[in-house]
Structure 1
Amino acid sequence: MKGPELIKDLFDLKEKGYLKYEDYLRVVEGINRYEKDQRRIAEGKEPHIQATSEPERSEEPQQIEREQPIITSTVPAAQPVPKPRPVPPPAPKPALTAEQKRERNLTLLMTAGVVLLLLGGLTLATSNWDVFSSLAKTLLVGGIAALFGGLGALSQRVLHITKTAFAFFVLFALFVPITILSAGYFELFGSWLSFSGDGKYVLGAVTSLICLPIYWMFTKSFSSKLFAWFTLIASAIGYAFILLAFGIEKNAFYFAYALGNAGYIYLFHVRKAKEADISQKVLPIFIQSNLILSTLFIIISFEQPLSQSFNLILTAVLYLAMRMVNKRVEYELLFMAFVSYGLYQLVEQAAGAGLSLVLIPIVPVVLLAVARYSKGNLKKYYQIANGAVSALAFLLVTGKGLMLSSGEGSVWMLLGYLVIAGNFVYLSYNTAFRLFTYLAPFYIFSAALEVYHLTSPSSIKYWPLAIGISGLVAYVIGQFIRPIRRSSLYVGGAFLMGGFGLTLLIPEYWQTVVLALLLTGLGARHYLTEQGISQKVFGAGVSVFLFFAGFSMGMALIPDPDRALAIGMGTILLAALYYWKKTDRILGQYALIGAMFVSLISFLASFDTEADWIRLVCSLLFSFMMFVGTRYFKQSVGYGVVQAGLFFVFYALLHLTADPLSERLTLITIAALLFVSYEVLKRVERQSHLPALVVGQAALLYAVFYNFITSGETLPYLLLTVLYGLYVWRSVFEAERKYSLYAGLTVLSAAFGFMVNEWFPNENRLVYSLLLLAAYFVLSEAWKERLRWYIVPFSILVMAEYLADSYYSGDVISLWFYIGVIFVFMAFFHSLKGYWRTAAVFPLIFFGLGMADLMDIYSLSSPLRAVVWYSIGILFTSIGMFLYEKLYHHENEEKVDFYGIAGLVYVWTGCMQAVEWVFITGFTLIALLLYQHSRRINEVPIAQKVLQTLSLLVGLLTYYTIIDMIDFPEYLMTELYVLPWILVSYLLTRKTWNLSEKVIMYVQYSLIGVISLILMIDAMYSYKIIDAIILGTLAVIAILYGFVSKQKSYFFSGLIVLLVNVLVQTRPYWGNMPWWVYLLIAGILLIGFAGYNEFKKQKGIESPSLKEQFLRKWGTWFGAWK
C-alpha cells in the first residue's frame, strides 16, 4: 500500500474514533520519514534514520513540515552548498464522506435557524424596548443567555445532539459578557462600577475573568477552535483591563502589554512539551495576531519617541523569541524590521544632529553583525535588509543634512555617504545580490558630488558638469574594484549622460562639448574591448556623442547661430567618420546611419529660416546623404527619399535663380523636372523606378490640387494633362499606366469644364461622361477594359453631383432629363457582363431620390405619394421578375435581382409616408412581396427562412396596427397583444424553421413564461376583478390544454399563474402580518428540521430523503409528458 493511501486510511480511523490524534501524527511522521529514506536509498545516498526516544518524537509532531524550509549548513563559503533534501509530497486531502456532508449541512441549517430566531427575538424585543426598565432590560438579555444555555444543555445531555448543543452554547457564550456589560451600562452595580464610572476598567476585567473559565470549559468539552479563540481573547482583554486599572501611562501600558506576549510564548513552549490539544493549535496564530496588535499600538499611538524606541526593540526581541520557539522564518524577518526602526529612533533621540548623520548609516551594519550568528539562507535576508535600510539611511542623511546645512555642503553628510558606500562595497564582495553592485557606485557618485558641494557651495552654473565629472569618478574608481567593475560603467555612465543632458537643457554648449567628448572617449574605449551587442551599442554611442560635440561646437562658435547649420556641422563630422572608418563595418555603418538621420533633422530645421541658400544647402546635404546611404544599404526605397529631397532642391533653386513666377507654374515646372530626374535615376539604377515614380506622381498630384484650389484657367490643367500623358507614354507596368490614364482623364474633365462652362454651367461633367461613353464604343477591347474601370465610377459620381445641383436649382425639366439619363446608364450597366451589372444599384438609388425631388416640387399629398411609390415598387418588382428568374443566382455571375429589392424599398418608402388604411395596404403589400421573394430564393434555405420570418413579422405588425385603429375595451388590450405570439411561435418553430423538439420545447417554455409574466403584471397593476377573472380563465384553459396534450409548459404555467392570481387577490389578508413573525417561523422550522434529522440519526431511524421522494413522484406523474 502506498503512503498517501495509508495516510487516508489512518485519517478515516482517527475520524471514527479508533485511533488517537497523537498516535495518528506519530505514524504519519514515521511514514514520511520512511518514504524520504527510500528515495535517498534509490538515489544511492545514506538514509537519515532518526533513532529518537519516544518522548522526543512526541515533543514536536507538528513542526516537521515547518522546519524543512530552514536549511542549516556549516560548509565554508568557498565550498559548494549541498543540495537540500527532497520534500515529501503532502498527503492528499481526504474527501468528505456522505455522513460528514450530512453533518455539515445540518450544522449550516441549525446555524441559520438560530440566527433567524435570534433576529426575530431581537426585533420583537426592540420594537417595545423603551417600555422596559433597566433591570428588565438586563434580565431580558440574561434570560436569552439562560435560554440558549438551557437549550444547549438539553441538546447535549438529554437528546445527545452535539452539533445543536454547540450552536446554542456559542450563543450562550456571546450573551454572557453582553449580560454583564449591560448591567454595568445601566449602573445596576453602582455608579462606580459602570461604563462612565472610575471602575470601568475593573468592570471590564471582572467580565473577562468571569467569561474565561466558561470559555475554557467549552474548549475542553467540544475541542473547538472557536472557544479556544474566545478563551485567549478574553484573557488578553482581561490582562489589558487589569493594566489599565492600575492607571499607568500610555507608553508604559504599551510596554507592559507587549511584555505580556512573552507569557503566551512561554505558555506555548511549556505546553508543547506536555500535550497537544486544540488550544495549542490556536495559540501560535493568536500570539502572532496579538503581537501585530501591540506593534500597531506602539507604532501609531505613542507620546515619547525615546520610549517608543525601547518598545520597538522589545517587540523585536519578542519576535526573535517567537522565531526560536515556533521555528518560523517570518518572525526573524520582522525582527530585522523592528530592530532597525528601534535603533533608528534611539539614535535620532539620543545622538546629536550632526553625529546622527554618521550613526544612522551604521544602523544597518548591526544587521550584518547579527547575520554572522544566523543560520542557513537567513544570511541572505539579513544582507537584503541591510541594503534596504542603507538606502533609507541615505535618504534620511540627505534630507537631514540639507536641513542642517541650509543647502550648503556638510562634512557629516560626506562621512555618512562614505560609510554607506563602504557598506555596499562590502556587500558586493560577500553576496550575489546584483542590486548591491549598482548601489555601491551610486553612493561613490554621491560622495564625489558632495565634495563639489563642499568646495563650491554657491555655484550652480557648473552643476551639470559636476554631475558628469562625479559620474566619471564613480566609473574610474569602480574599475579598480572587481565586483562593481561592470556596474560602475552603467551607473557612472548614466550620471555622465545625465549631466550631458542637463547641459543641453540649460544650455551650456562648451560644457556639452566637454561631456560629449568624454562620452565619446568612453564609448571608443569600450568599443575596442567589448564584443557582440555591447560593441554595437558603444559604436552607436560614439556616433551620437560625436554629433553632439560637433553640433554644440557649432552653436558655440557661430556668432548668430542657426540651428540647421549647427546640425549640418554635426552631419559633416559623422560623414567624415564614415569615410575614415568605412572599412569598419560596425562603426562606419553607425556613422552613416547617424549622418543620414541628422541630415534629415537639419533639412527639417531649415524650414524655420528665411534664407533660401540655407534651405538649398541643407536640402542638397540631405539628398546627398540619402543617395550615399541608399547605395550603401542597397534599399531601393531610398531613391524615393532622394527624389523628395530633389523636390525641395528645385524649389529653393527656382526661388534663388529664376524670375518671380506664379506658384502654380513653379509647381508645374518642379513636376516636369522631377519627371526628368525620374528618367535619370531609372537609367542609373533600375531598382529606383518605383520609388522615384511614386514621389514624382505625388508632386504632380500636389500641383493638381494646388491648381484646383487657386486656378480657374484652362492652360495649367492642359499642361498637367500633358505631363500625365508623358507618364502614360513611359509607363512600364499596367497599374502605372492605369493610374496615369485615370488621373489625366480627371484633370482633362476639369479643363473641359472650364472650356464649356459658358454653354453648359451645370451639365458640363455629365456631357463629358456622355462623351467618354461614346468614346468607349470606338476603342479596342484592351482600352475598353481600361476605360470601363474609369467610366463606371465616374458616371456614378457625376449622376450624384448632378442630382444635387438639379434639386437645389428646382428645375423640373432638368430633373426629367436627369431621370432619362439614369435610364440610359442603367441600360449601359445592364449591357455589361459579370459583376459590372451590380453597378445598376446606383441608378436605382438615384432614380428613387430623383422621384422624391419631383414629388416635393409637385407638392403631392401623402396618400398620393404612397400610391405612386407603391406603383413604382410593383413596376420594378415586375421588371426584376421578368429579367431574373430568381432573386439570387447561386451558380452564374448574375448574382442578385436588384430591381426586385429596389421595388421592395420603394414600397417601404411609400409606407413611411402613408397613414391609416393606406399604411395598412402598404404593409400588407410588403408582407406579400417578402413571401413572393422567399419563393424565388429556395437555393439558399437560410435566406428563404429569414424572408418568410420577416413576412410573418410584418404581418404581425399589420395586425397590431389594425388593433390600434379599432377601439377595444382596455382590459382586453394586453391579451390581444400577447396571445398572437403563441400562433407566431408555432408558425416560426414548426413550419418555417423546422426546429428540433428540444429547441421547440425551450422556445415554448420561454414564450409561455414571458406571456404569463406579462399577464400577471397587468392584472397586478390594474387590480380589477374583470382582469382577475380573465387571467384565471386563461390559466384554467392552459391547465386543461396542457393536461390533455401532456405538455408541461402549458400545465405548469397555468398552475403558477392561477396560484399567483389567488395570492394577489388575497394580499390584504397575509400582507399585514409583522415580519418578525416570519423570522420566528423560519428559525423554528430550520431548527426543528435539523433537530429532527439529528434525533433520527441518534435513534437509528432511516428513511429516504425528500429529494429522492420528490424525484420518484415526479417521474411517476410527469415522466411521459413533453
Structure 2
Amino acid sequence: MGMEWFIILLIWLVAPFAELAAIIVLAVANSRYKRRIWELTRGTDKADTGMQDKGPADIEIQHEGPADIEIQRERPADTGIQYERPADIEIQREKPTDIKIQHEGPADTEIQHERTADAVTQHEKSAAWYGPGQAIVVPEDFEKAESACRVPEIPHKQTALVRAPKIDGGFFQGTAALVIGVIFVVLAGLIFATTAWHVLPSVCKVIMVLGGSGLFFGASWAAEKYFKIERTGQAFYILGSVFLFLTILAAGYFGLLGPEFILKGENRYRVLLAGSIATEIALFSKIRRFRNKVYTQACLWGMTVSMCFLMGALKLEWPDCMNGMMYYSFLLIGGNEVYRRKSGLQGSMNAPADRFIDEFMGEFGLFAALQFWIISGMMAYKAVAGGIGFIIGILFLGIWEVTFWDTLAFGLMAAGTALVALRRRSPEMKMLHSLTMMIFFQYAGFCIPVDFTYQVFLGAAMTAVWFLAERRFKNPLNNLAGGCVFSAVLAIDMAVLLLDMLFSRDSLGNQLAASAVVILLAAVMAEWGRRYPVLRGSVAAVLFALTLTGWEVFNRTLGMDVGYDVVVWGYVLIVSIWDMVKKDRFCIPILAIGTAAQAVARLENQETLSFFLLLSVYLLVKSFGREGTARERFIRGSCLYSLAGVYLLAEGATANGVLRMVWTAAVYGLEYASVILHDRSKIRDRFWNCTGMTVFLMMMGAFYSDPSLALWNMILCMAVFEVIYVMLYRSGCSWLHLAAAAAVLPLPMIATARYGLNENQVYGATAALLILSGILFRRFRPVMVRREGESGGWDVDWFHILVIFVLIPMAWEAGRGWQCAYILLTALYVLQFAVLEHWKRAAFTLAAALAAAAFWRQPFIRWPEMLSLEIQLIPAAGFIWSLGRIWGDRKEITNLQTVLYCLCLGAMASDALSTGAVWDALILEAVNLAVFLLAHMRKCMRWIRISGIIMILVALYMTKDFWLSLSWWVYLLAAGLGLIVFAAVNEMKKR
C-alpha cells in the first residue's frame, strides 16, 4: 500500500515537471532560431545600405516566388542610364493579367502584390525606385521595351532594395508547443484519474487538485521571470486558474465546504458560483499583465457565467432569471456608455495606465454590446411568448400574471437600446428602440393590478402619448418604421378592446375605455396626416369605431332605443359636414362607410335611412366651387349615388321592377338634361352614355325576368328605348346603341308567348313600328353616314340593321299573306342601304329580287290556269330587265340576262310542249315574235337568232302531224336539194 502511494505521488509530481522541461526545451530552441533569423536579417539590411552607396549601376533585383521578375540595369560610362533591350528583360506572370512580386524581408515575410497589368498609373511610369517599405515602380519602358532609351540619372538615395518585415514564424511554433503541452497535461490527469485517483481520501484529492493549481501558478511565475517565455507563462496561469475552479468543485463534491455547498440539487449552483468567482479573481488579477484580447474576453464572459450561477444559487425561475440577466446587461451597457461619454469629454489619454484602460474598455464595450443584444433577443422572445400566453390566460384561464420585475426588465431593455441608438442613430437602431419601447409600454399596462380592459387601455394610452410626444418634441430616435410599430400596436389594442366590449356590453367602463383608445388612435393618425396628407382620411375611418362604442352609451345616457343604422347615418352626416366646412380629406372614408352601411342593410333586407341619397347630396355640394376634372368627378359620383338611392326607395315602394327602373330612368334623364344644358359637349361623354345604357339594360332585364308583368310594361320599355336609343345615336356611341338595339329584338317573340297575341296583332304591330321608325330615321339620317370631323368615325343605325334578325324568322313562320308583306318589308329594309355608294347596286338588285319573291308569295289574286306560268314569269322578266338598268350594259350582265331570258323562254316552251295546248304555243310564238321584231329594230343579232329558232322549232313541233303524214321520199328530195345548194355555194366561194 505504501508503494502505491509513493508511485501515485511520484507520477503526479514528476509528470508535470517532465512536461515543463519538454516545453522549455522547445521554447529555448525556438528562441535560438529566432536569434539566428534576426542576425541574418541584420546582415541583409547592411548589404542593402552598401548597395545604396554604390548607386544604381550593377544593381540586380531578384524576386522569389512562382512569378519571378528579374531586372538588370547597367550604367555606361557616359551620363544617363541606358537600359538593355527587351531580350534582357525576363517577366513571368502566373496569369495574363496578374503580376505577382514577392519581396524577401528581414523576417522572411512574403508579401504578394496582385494587380492587373493595366493598373500602372502615369505617375508610376517613371524611372524611380523608392526607399525601403515602399512598392517598386515599374518604368514606362519596361512595358514597351522595344528599344533602348535614355533617362536622367537617378539619385543614390532612391536605389535601395525594397524589404518588407516578415511575421515571426516562431509564434506558430510556440503556440504549437503550448497546445501540445496542455494536451499532455490533460492526458496525464486522465491517466491519473483512471488509475489511482479512486484510492485517495477526499481531503487528499482536494489537496492534490489545489496543489496542481499552485504548481501551474508557480510554473507560470518561473516561465515569465527566469525563462522570459510569456506565452508559456500565460498558458500555465490559465491552467492554474482552471484548477482553482476544479479545487472548489472537488471540495463541494466531497462535502468539505458544508451541507450548503454540495454538488447536489440546487446547492450545486453555490459551489459553481464560488468556483467561478475564485477563477474570475485569479484571471482578472493578471489582465493588466497579459493584455491579450482573447484573454480579456474570456475574463469578461466569465463574469456572465458567474451571473448565471448566481441566478441558480438564488433559486430563481426561468422568467426571473431572464430579468436578472437583463438587469446585469443594462449595467454593463450603461457603464460602457458612461465611460465613453466621460472619455470623450476628457480627450485622449497618453499614460500607460490610461492606454490600458482604453484597450480594456474597448474589449469591454464589445462584450457589453454582445451581452446586451443576446439577452435582448431572449427577452424579445419572452415578450412574444408572454404576450400570447397573457392573452390566452386572461381570456380563457385567468392564470397569467405580469410582475413588476418583468416590466422593469423590459424598461431596462428599452433604456439600453435607447443608449445604443443615441450613439449610432441608424434606421435599424431607431426601429429597435421603438419596438422595445412598445413592448415596455404594453407590459407596463399589464403590470398594473386592474381589470384586463383597463390594462390594455393604459398600455395603449402610454403608447399613444409617447408617439405624440416624440413627434411634438422631435425626438432624435423618431423614424418612419418606429412610428409604424407604435401605430400598428395601438390599432391592435383598439381591436382587442372592441372585441372585449362585444362580450361585455353591460360594462360602461369597457365602452368608455374603448372609446378613449379610438380617440387616441385618431389623434395618432391625425399626426401622421400632417406629414403624409394622404393618411389624413384615415382619421374618419378610425373615428367610425365610435359608433360601436358610443351606441350603447348614447342609448343609456338619453334613455332611448336608437337603431345602430341611425347612429351610423348620423355619423356619416356629421363627418360630411365636417369635411365640407373644413375642406378636409375625408371623402373616401365617408363614401366607403356609407356604401358599406347601405350594402349591409340591403343584404339583411333591413329598412334604413338612405345612405346613398345622403352621399349624393354630399358629393353634389362638394362639386360647388370646383372646376375641371375634380368637379366632373363629384358630379358623376353624385349621379350614381342618386340613381342607386332612388332605386332602393322605389324598391321599398313597389315590387314592379320595370316601374322601379322607370323612376330611376326619370332621375337619370333630369340629371343628364341639366348637364347637357350646362355644357353641350357632354353629349358625347362616355360616363353619361354608359350610365343611361346601364339603366335601360336593367329595365329590360326586369321585364324579361318577370313573366307576370302586364303589356303596358313593354310599352314603357319601348318608350324608354326610343329615348335612350336616340340619345346614344346622337352621341356617336355606336357600340352602346348596338347593345340597346339587341336588347329589344326579342320583344315580338316575348309578346307572342307571354300575352297570347294572335298573328295579325303581332305582325301588324311589328310592321307598323318598323315602318314608322324607319321613315322617321331615314327622314333625317341615313342608315350609315360618316361622322363629320372624325376620320374613320361612322354613325350607324344599328336597330334598323339588326331588325333583319326579326324579319327573317317572322317571315319564315308567317302565313302567305304576312310572308308577302314581310318580304316587301325586307325589300324596304334593303333599300335603306341604297344611299351608300358602294352598296347601292347590290341593294337595288336584292330589293328587286325580294319584290319578285313577294309577287310569287302573294295570296290575294288568283290567276287563270292557262295564264298562270306566263304571269308568274312577268316579275322574273322585270327583275332580269332591272339588272341591265342597275348594273349597266356590261358584257357579264348582258350574258347573264341572256341566260336568264332563255330560261324564262325555255320554261314557257317546256310548258307549251308538255301540255300541247295551242294557246300556250300561240303565247310563246307571240312573245318570240315580239322579241324578234324588237331585236330587228335594235339590230341585235343574238335575239334575232334565238327568237327565230324558237319560233321555227315551236311551229315545227306544233305541225308535227302534218310532217309525219308526208312520204319519205319528200324528205330525201329536200335533203338532196339542200346538199346541192350547199355544194354550189361552197364552190362559188372558192372562186
Normalising by the smaller structure, the TM-score range is: 0.3 to 0.5
TM-score by length of 2: 0.46
| Rg larger in structure | 2
Normalised by the length of structure 1, the TM-score is: 0.42
